[in-house]
């Protein structure tokens, strides 16, 4: 029998975590936290599997919403085997240590859960086993009741460095979890490589299900518009703030901006980056020959950058012209991009460019939907502010658009699809479209704690 239970990231984006039980072997697919929730609320609902076998965790990539609750999973199941790609392991070493510092601050008044320590992360990273793309390995658990072994393999998901779709095969039946996936080429990474094997069940991400992409501009058109908007601001001596995720978006945007400056299309100015994003760039550099990579000659660490953490006071930044790539991508409160946004908004010559996904309940979403001359309240508790700067929205997504997600379904042609990792509107559109286009495919919308029996 094969069962599936979503523990997080079902009809929502955040705390991705899914449990598969294949004839007694318990498999966890991802173990993330919710980026805008705190404490216990940010974790997947591990209690649903507290009396079940938990043998192995296969982690698709190192974004917070897919990996950050792994230390809590290990506290509950100390003997769990963890497998990732080598790149995900290398990135996670940086991001999980960084989360220790953030969690300490967030959880200082919390009694139900404590922040994990740097020592726990060191031990965790040492225990992670790594497997290259397309390398098959067995994952039988201690109480595996079948004579036949369970095989697993990772497949390049084209989303961030080391990201993988996970294929699990047993007795001629196969389940493919897309993780976060992108079929299209980005600035640095080539697109996803789908498994060549037959796939029966797809656990499918639906991030962009609600966005009509038929009339969206191409990456090249978007790059042109970005250049025009940026030059307009730089030519009037203004500065540009680009909120980015330290992992993935920072590296993609840095390489895009640098190439445009090198070509002479974008006015040259100082580029500010900093913190964990800079460390992650070195992992990208080291791995540019180990994964499909568009430009192995481009070394991110060699791009001239000033360090945001060398600036004594953020107000000093307002007196010089620059482009700032600052975390967090969704402008979460108390982060650098939040503090800079507060300052940027009052500057008529400046511009804020958003470049990726925004959760509707984040300040980033409010910024994205504001415009010069409007009023904005960054959070429910903050004072309304005038938007005096330019606000521009660009689409440099690291996820496939909804037509791309349908293409994945078409190419894999499974008998069943389980929809995960999307807001209600996205899941609804995707479910409806799959049923209409591929009536032979059975569609499930994942719900936290609700078991689906995949095979009797």
Q: Least distance (Å) from Zn ion to the CB of residue 379? A: 24
Q: Least distance (Å) from Zn ion to the CB of residue 63? A: 4
Query: Of 336, 392, 428, whose CA–CA distance to 222 is shortest?
Result: 392
| Between 77 and 395, CB nearer to Zn ion | 395
Query: Of 57, 222, 202, 186, whose CA–CA distance to 129 is shortest?
Result: 57
Q: Least distance (Å) from Zn ion to the CB of residue 180? A: 4
| Between 63 and 170, CB nearer to Zn ion | 63
CB atoms within 10 A of CB 195: 18
Per CB under 5 A, which of residues 304..333 are in contact with Zn ion?
Answer: none
Residue listed under structure tokens 């995960």: 420
| Between 368 and 399, CB nearer to Zn ion | 399
| Between 61 and 278, CB nearer to Zn ion | 61
Q: Is 421 in the site for Zn ion (CB under 5 A)?
A: no
Q: Is 89 in the site for Zn ion (CB under 5 A)?
A: no
Q: Least distance (Å) from Zn ion to the CB of residue 90? A: 16
| Between 93 and 180, CB nearer to Zn ion | 180
Using CB under 5 A, count the residues that bind Zn ion.
2
Choose, by CB under 5 A, the member of 180, 200, 359, 392 that binds Zn ion: 180
Q: Least distance (Å) from Zn ion to the CB of residue 113? A: 23
Which range binds Zn ion by CB under 5 A, 57-65, 74-82, 203-211, 401-409? 57-65
Which range binds Zn ion by CB under 5 A, 180-188, 199-207, 312-320, 419-427? 180-188
| Between 287 and 385, CB nearer to Zn ion | 287
Q: Least distance (Å) from Zn ion to the CB of residue 453? A: 29
**147 CB contacts (<8 Å, ≥6 apart)?**
none
Tokens representing residue 401 in the block? 């658009």
Q: Least distance (Å) from Zn ion to the CB of residue 337? A: 18
Q: Least distance (Å) from Zn ion to the CB of residue 233? A: 29
| Between 71 and 356, CB nearer to Zn ion | 356
Tokens representing residue 210 in the block? 């609600």
Which range binds Zn ion by CB under 5 A, 56-64, 98-106, 211-219, 428-436? 56-64
Q: Least distance (Å) from Zn ion to the CB of residue 61? A: 6
Return d(Cα 96, Cα 101) in angstroms, integer: 9
Which range binds Zn ion by CB under 5 A, 175-183, 195-203, 328-336, 381-389? 175-183
Return d(Cα 169, Cα 285) in angstroms, integer: 33
Return d(Cα 142, Cα 381) in angstroms, integer: 51
| Between 61 and 131, CB nearer to Zn ion | 61
Q: How many residues does the chain have?
A: 456
| Between 154 and 350, CB nearer to Zn ion | 154
Which range binds Zn ion by CB under 5 A, 12-20, 55-63, 133-141, 308-316? 55-63
Per CB under 5 A, which of residues 382..401 are in contact with Zn ion?
Answer: none
| Between 63 and 402, CB nearer to Zn ion | 63
Phi, psi values for residue 59, rounded to 5°: -105, 125
Return d(Cα 180, Cα 127) in angstroms, integer: 24
Choose, by CB under 5 A, the member of 34, 63, 77, 144 that binds Zn ion: 63
Q: Is residue 7 within 8 Å of residue 69, measured between CB atoms?
A: no
What are the residues binding Zn ion (CB under 5 A)? 63, 180
């Amino acid at each position: 029998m094969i069962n599936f239970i979503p523990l997080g990231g079902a009809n929502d984006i955040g705390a991705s975590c899914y449990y598969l039980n294949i004839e007694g072997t318990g498999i966890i697919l991802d173990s993330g936290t919710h980026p805008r929730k705190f404490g216990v609320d940010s974790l997947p609902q591990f209690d649903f599997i507290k009396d079940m076998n938990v043998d192995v965790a296969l982690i698709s990539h190192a974004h917070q919403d897919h990996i950050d609750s792994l230390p809590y999973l290990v506290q509950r199941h100390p003997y769990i085997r963890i497998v990732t790609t080598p790149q995900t392991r290398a990135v996670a070493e940086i991001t999980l240590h960084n989360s220790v510092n953030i969690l300490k601050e967030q959880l200082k008044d919390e009694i139900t859960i404590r922040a994990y320590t740097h020592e726990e992360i060191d031990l965790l990273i040492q225990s992670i086993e790594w497997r290259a793309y397309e390398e098959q390995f067995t994952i039988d658990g201690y109480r595996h009741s079948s004579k036949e072994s369970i095989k697993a393999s990772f497949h390049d998901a084209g989303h961030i460095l080391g990201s993988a779709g996970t294929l699990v095969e047993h007795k001629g039946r196969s389940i493919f979890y897309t993780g976060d996936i992108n079929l299209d080429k980005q600035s640095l990474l080539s697109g996803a490589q789908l498994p060549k094997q037959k796939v029966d069940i797809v656990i499918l991400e639906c991030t962009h299900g609600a966005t009509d992409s038929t009339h969206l501009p191409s990456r090249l058109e978007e790059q042109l518009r970005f250049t025009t908007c940026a030059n307009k601001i730089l030519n009037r001596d203004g500065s540009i703030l680009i909120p980015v995720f330290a992992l993935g978006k920072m590296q993609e945007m840095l390489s895009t901006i640098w190439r445009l400056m090198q070509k002479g299309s974008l006015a040259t100015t100082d580029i500010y980056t900093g913190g964990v994003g800079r460390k992650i760039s070195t992992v990208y550099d080291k791995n540019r020959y180990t994964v499909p990579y568009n430009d192995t000659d481009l070394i991110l660490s060699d791009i001239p950058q000033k360090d945001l953490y060398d600036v004594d006071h953020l107000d000093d930044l307002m007196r010089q012209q620059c482009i700032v790539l600052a975390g967090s991508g969704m402008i979460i409160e108390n982060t650098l991009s939040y503090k800079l946004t507060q300052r940027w908004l009052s500057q008529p010559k400046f511009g804020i460019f958003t470049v990726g996904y925004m959760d509707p309940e984040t300040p980033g979403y409010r910024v994205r939907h504001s415009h010069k001359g409007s009023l904005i309240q960054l959070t429910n508790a903050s004072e309304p502010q005038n938007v005096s700067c330019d606000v521009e929205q660009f689409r440099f997504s690291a996820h496939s658009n909804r037509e791309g997600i349908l293409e994945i379904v078409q190419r894999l042609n499974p008998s069943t699809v389980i929809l995960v990792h999307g807001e209600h509107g996205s899941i609804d559109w995707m479910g409806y479209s799959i049923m209409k286009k591929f009536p032979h495919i059975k569609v499930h919308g994942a719900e936290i704690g609700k078991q689906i029996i995949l095979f009797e």
